[in-house]
Amino acid sequence: MVQVMLGECSAADADAVFEVLGAHFASDRAGTVPGRREGPRPAAWAGSFVVDHAPSEVAGVLLAGPVTADLQGGPVAVDRLRRTLAAAFAVEAAGSAAGDQEVDVQVRLTNG
């Protein structure tokens, strides 16, 4: 399981990132579309993904602007999810921290 927190982006870009991840991994976000929520825009969007495999093909997606993504989970799962994002977007490492059983990785997503 990888926790994904998106920030510093539009609702449409958060939607695009979660659609890419949701197309390849089971998620707690089924049926939730960030770009179509009512009320004020949240400062960040969060979702959990079961990353139990590495997808073979991932289509590229265009973003309107950069997206900051914080990924937290087991090292293998976080790496698989990061590689999936890298297949769809340009990914720049922004920071990381490792604990006993989990890693925290921050990346910046842009158009590739």
Domain span including residue 22 = 2-51+59-110
Are the beta carbons of 86 and 60 closer than 8 angstroms?
A: no
What digits encode the pLDDT tens for the residues 63-88? 999 999 999 999 999 999 999 999 99
Q: What is the mean pLDDT of the chain?
A: 89
Q: What is the pLDDT of residue 19?
A: 93
Q: In angstroms, rounded to a whole number, what is the distance separating the alpha carbons of residues 7 and 42?
A: 9
Are the beta carbons of 102 and 74 closer than 8 angstroms?
A: yes
Per-residue pLDDT band at 42 (split at 50, 70, 90): low
Nearest Cα to Cα of residue 14 among 37, 44, 48: 44
Q: Within a 13 Å sphere around the CA of 76, how many CA atoms are in the beta-carbon half? A: 5
**Which amino acid does the sequence have at 44?**
A
**Number of separate domains in the chain:** 1
User: Can you give the pTM of this predicted structure?
Assistant: 0.87
Q: Which of 17-26, 27-36, 94-103 has the lowest mean pLDDT?
A: 27-36
